[in-house]
């Protein structure tokens, strides 16, 4: 195996692993030798993901994890250490969307939900992941933000604000931990056909219409395939990618170049 893509023995924690990017990334890393601790609120779906991985000889553990609850984020880190002796990689991927509405119409409940899951879910994760990585002097954390975290996102004010916060958390943690051998980055995908998109208000008027409208805004004239985003995540997490930290990487088909 190419050394850049070799994750043999890398103990890896992934939140939001029952579907979408999380499930695809779990398989991509597991097939490259990683040992997996996977969490999600969707218990049955997560058990199915883990069963499929184990059937193929991949070491994987499923944990019920609502990232808005700090104790459950800590339990994932504790499990990694108890079962495998350490934590090498953490991917804070779990997140929620929001209804499409103008900024002046977004209510407090929507902002509260975004803060608890999309912001505090990352903070709770990093709080315990960094503490676990510090003693061994190495580790890699990847937080899933969004293109909505790099610029304005019409009708997604609360989501955009939360994803901007994820980038701020990632950059700050990266500066604080760089000398300790820990890398922290954020990935900022453009729209991709994961359940977060296909099940959202974005598709309420018709998925094909939404896809066509969004694709017009991308130089590549198409949305990303989930696997394309995951391929970038694999490269960002690579044990051989040792000098990249504190970055918010846009994976957007050229949108941010305009």
Q: Which of 84, 159, 190, 191 is catalytic?
A: 159
Residue 232 lies in a domain: yes
Please name every residue paired with 91 in a beta bridge, in sequence order, or none if there are none. 14, 142
- The pTM of the full predicted model, rounded to 2 decimals, is 0.94
Q: Is residue 204 part of a domain?
A: no
**Interval 2-45: pLDDT, tens:** 888 999 999 999 999 999 999 999 999 999 999 999 999 999 99
Could you give the percent of the chain with pLDDT greater than 70? 92
Residue spans of alpha helices (H) in 14-151? 20-30, 43-55, 70-84, 108-114, 120-133
pLDDT band for 204, please (50, 70, 90 cuts).
low
Hey, what are 184's tokens?
A: 């922290």
Report which of 199, 220, 15, 74 is spatially closest to residue 210, judged by C-alpha positions.
199
Burial class (CB in 10 A: 0-12, 13-18, 19+), 208: exposed
Say if CB 225 and CB 194 are below 8 A apart.
no
Return the bridge partners of 185, or none. 142
Selection from 76, 163, 165 nearest residue 125 by Cα:
76
Helix (H) or strand (E) holding 139: strand 139-144
> Nearest-CA neighbor of 161 among 129, 113, 233?
113
CA distance 118 to 68: 8
Q: What domain range is 170 assigned to?
A: 3-192+226-244
User: Binning pLDDT at 50, 70 and 90, where does residue 203 land?
Assistant: low
Tokens read off for 187: 């990935």
Strand partners, 182: 139
CA distance 111 to 106: 7
17 falls within a domain = yes
Burial 148-165 (b: 16+ CB within 10 A, else e): bbbeebebbbbbbbbbbb
Q: Is 211 among the domain residues?
A: no
Does residue 111 form part of some domain?
A: yes
In a domain, 67, yes or no: yes
Residue reference for tokens 């553990």: 61
206 domain-assigned: no
* CATH number, position 20: 3.40.50.720
Q: How far is residue 186's CA from residue 2's CA, in Å, rounded to a whole number?
A: 24
Residue 124 designated active-site: no
Q: How many domains does the chain have?
A: 1
Q: Flag whether 29 is in a domain.
A: yes
Number of other CB atoms surrounding residue 58 within 10 Å = 19
pLDDT band at 202 (very low <50, low <70, confident <90, very high): low
pLDDT surpasses 80 at 68 = yes
Average pLDDT estimate for 233-253: 96
């Amino acid at each position: 195996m190419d050394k850049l893509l070799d994750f043999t023995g890398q103990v890896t924690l992934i939140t939001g692993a029952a579907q979408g990017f999380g499930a695809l990334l779990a398989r991509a890393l597991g097939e490259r030798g990683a040992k997996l601790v996977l969490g999600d609120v969707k218990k049955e779906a997560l058990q199915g993901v883990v069963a499929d991985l184990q059937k193929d000889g991949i070491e994987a553990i499923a944990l019920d994890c609502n990232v808005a609850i700090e104790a459950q984020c800590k339990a994932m880190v504790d499990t990694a250490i108890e079962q495998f002796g350490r934590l090498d990689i953490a991917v804070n991927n779990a997140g929620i969307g929001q209804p499409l509405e103008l900024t002046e119409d977004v209510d407090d409940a929507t902002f509260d939900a975004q803060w608890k899951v999309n912001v505090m879910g990352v903070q709770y994760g990093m709080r315990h992941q960094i503490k676990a990585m510090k003693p061994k002097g190495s580790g890699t954390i990847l937080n899933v933000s969004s293109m909505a975290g790099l610029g304005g996102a019409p009708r997604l004010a609360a989501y955009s604000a939360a994803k901007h916060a994820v980038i701020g958390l990632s950059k700050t943690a990266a500066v604080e931990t760089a000398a300790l051998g820990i890398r922290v980055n954020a990935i900022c995908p453009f729209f991709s056909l994961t359940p977060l998109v296909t099940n959202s208000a974005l598709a309420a008027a018709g998925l094909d219409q939404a896809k066509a409208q969004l694709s017009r805004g991308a130089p590549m004239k198409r949305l990303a395939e989930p696997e394309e985003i995951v391929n970038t995540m694999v490269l960002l997490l690579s044990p051989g990618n040792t000098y990249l930290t504190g970055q918010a990487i846009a994976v957007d088909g050229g949108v941010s170049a305009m």
